[in-house]
Amino acid sequence: MKTYDIGVIPGDGIGPEVIDEGLKVLRAVMKIEGFDCNIITYPHSGAHYLKTKELATDNLIDEWSNLDAVFLGAIGHPDVEVGLVERSVILGLRFGLDLYINLRPIKLYAKHMCPIKEKGPEDIDFVIVRENTEGLYSQIGGFLKQGTPDETSIVTGVYTRKGVERAVRYAFELAKERSKEKSTPPSVTMVDKANAIRSHDLWARTFAEVGEEYKDTEQDHAYVDACTMWMIKNPEWFDVIVTNNLFGDIITDLGAILQGGMGIAASGNIHPGKTSMFEPIHGSAPKYAGKNVACPLGAIMAAGMMLDFLGEKNGGKRIEDAVANLLSSGVIPSADARSGLSTTQVGNMVTEAVYKNAES
C-alpha cells in the first residue's frame, strides 16, 4: 500500500483542535482510496517553547525535509515574544525547505457566505500565487540604537530574478491547467507596486518576458492598492494572481473574507516535487482555544490540498466536494465560530459526507 510520511505540527491555540478534524477527514479518504499515512507528530509551538525553550533547529528542518509533506495547524502564543516561534517554525519551513510558492485558493461555495452583495460562487473562483521565500520577509535588517530617540530600523526587500521567475512561471502553468478544467481562457494578473517601489520593476519585466512564452494567456497587471479595490468590486475578473510575499500575505486575508472567512481559507507552501507544507490561513485564535468552536474547514481544505499535491487527486476532490455540498446546502451554515456547530461536529459532518459520497 502506498504510504506517505506526514509530519503534523498541531501548534498553538485552536491549531490542535482543527488539525484533529483534518486528520479525521484524511483517515476517511485513506480508507476509501486505499493509501496510508505514517503520521509523525511534532510538539513545536509557542506553548512548547515556553516549557522547553525549544525552537525549530536546522536538524529538525532537515528531518522535515525527508517527509512527504507537513500538515500544520497554527503557531502563535500570547505569552511568547511576537513572531518568535512563527519565524522559527513557519518561516523555518518556508525558507528551510525552499517552499517558494504559497498557493491560496479563493473559492466561494455558497452565496450567503459572501459579504459582497450581488456576488456569488460564479464570481469568486481564483487563486493567489504568493512568492514565499523573498521580499520583505527576507529577515535581512535590524535595529540600530534600539530604545533610544535615535533608533533606526531597517528591513531589506529581496527580489531575485530566479525567485520572481519561478513564481511567475508557476502562475502561468497553473492558469493553463485551470483553463482546461474551467473551459475559460487562461489568465494571470501580476500585482506589484512598481510605480512607487522601483525595485518591483523586476517583477514587471520578468512577467513580460516569461509572458512571451504564454501568448494564449490573458496577461494583466494591477498595482496592489488598486488590486484590493478590484477584488471587492469585480472579483470575477481574476483567475490567477501572482505577487510578492508581503502583498500576497495581505491580499489573501482579503480573499479569505470573499470566500466566507478565515475559517475556510487553506494554503499550500509548495516546492514542486519536494516536501511541502499545508496549513489553514487562520492563526492560533487564542480566544477560541479549547472551546471546541473554531471552524476546522480551513485545516480540512488544507488536508485536501496536501492530497492533491501528493498526487492523490481523487482524495483531494472527495474533500472539496464534501465541503462544497455541506456549505452550498446550508447544512454547515458558515465557516466561523458562530455557525452553531462545534469544531468536532463540523469535522464529523465532513467525514460522514466523504463516506456517504463514496457509497453512492
Q: Least distance to Mg ion from the beta carbon of 280, Å?
A: 11
Looking only at residues 52 through 71 of this chain, which bind ligand IPM when binding is defined by CB under 6 A? none
Distance CA(210)–CA(286), nearest Å, equals 43
Q: Least distance to ligand IPM from the beta carbon of 178, Å?
A: 22
Q: How many residues bind to Mg ion according to rule CB under 5 A?
A: 1
Distance CA(200)–CA(330), nearest Å, equals 43
Tell me, what amino acid is at 211? G
Q: Which is nearer to Mg ion, 21 or 249 (CB)?
A: 249
Q: How many residues bind to ligand IPM according to rule CB under 6 A?
A: 4
Q: Which is nearer to ligand IPM, 85 or 326 (CB)?
A: 85
Q: Nearest Cα to 164, choosing from 206, 199, 127, 130?
A: 206
Q: Least distance to Mg ion from the beta carbon of 76, Å?
A: 11
DSSP codes, 280-343: ESS---GGGTTTT-S--HHHHHHHHHHHHHHT-HHHHHHHHHHHHHHHHTTSS--SSTTSSS-H
Q: Which is nearer to ligand IPM, 61 or 324 (CB)?
A: 61
Which range, of 88-96, 184-192, 248-256, 340-348, touches Mg ion by CB under 5 A?
248-256
How many Cα atoms within 13 Å fall on the side-chain side of residue 273?
1
Helices (H), the chain: 15-33, 46-52, 58-65, 84-85, 92-96, 161-182, 201-211, 224-233, 245-258, 297-310, 313-328, 343-359
For residue 134, give Cα distances in angstroms to 245, 252, 301. 7, 17, 26
Using CB under 6 A, which of 12, 86, 125, 336 touches ligand IPM? 86
Q: Least distance to ligand IPM from the beta carbon of 75, Å?
A: 7
Distance CA(234)–CA(245), nearest Å, equals 23
**From the list ligand IPM, Mg ion, none, which binds 17 (C-beta under 5 to 8 Å, kind-based)?**
none
Binding mask 272-311 for ligand IPM (x = CB under 6 A): ---------x------------------------------
Using CB under 5 A, which of 192, 249, 308, 312 touches Mg ion? 249
DSSP codes, 210-249: HHTT-TTSEEEEEEHHHHHHHHHH-GGG-SEEEE-HHHHH
Q: Which is nearer to ligand IPM, 239 or 249 (CB)?
A: 249
Q: Which is nearer to Mg ion, 267 or 276 (CB)?
A: 267
**From the list Mg ion, ligand IPM, none, which binds 222 (C-beta under 5 to 8 Å, kind-based)?**
none
Using CB under 6 A, which of 90, 97, 103, 171 touches ligand IPM? 90
Q: Nearest Cα to 281, choosing from 139, 74, 140, 49?
A: 74
Tell me, what amino acid is at 261? G
**From the list Mg ion, ligand IPM, none, which binds 86 (C-beta under 5 to 8 Å, kind-based)?**
ligand IPM
> Does position 86 bind Mg ion by CB under 5 A?
no
Distance CA(7)–CA(126), nearest Å, equals 29
Query: How many other C-beta atoms lie within 10 A of the C-beta of residue 226?
Result: 13
> Does position 249 bind ligand IPM by CB under 6 A?
yes
Q: Nearest Cα to 186, choosing from 221, 227, 220?
A: 220
Which range, of 131-139, 178-186, 249-257, 264-272, touches Mg ion by CB under 5 A?
249-257
Q: Least distance to ligand IPM from the beta carbon of 321, Å?
A: 26
Binding footprint of ligand IPM on the chain (CB under 6 A): 86, 90, 249, 281
Residues of this chain that bind Mg ion (CB under 5 A)? 249
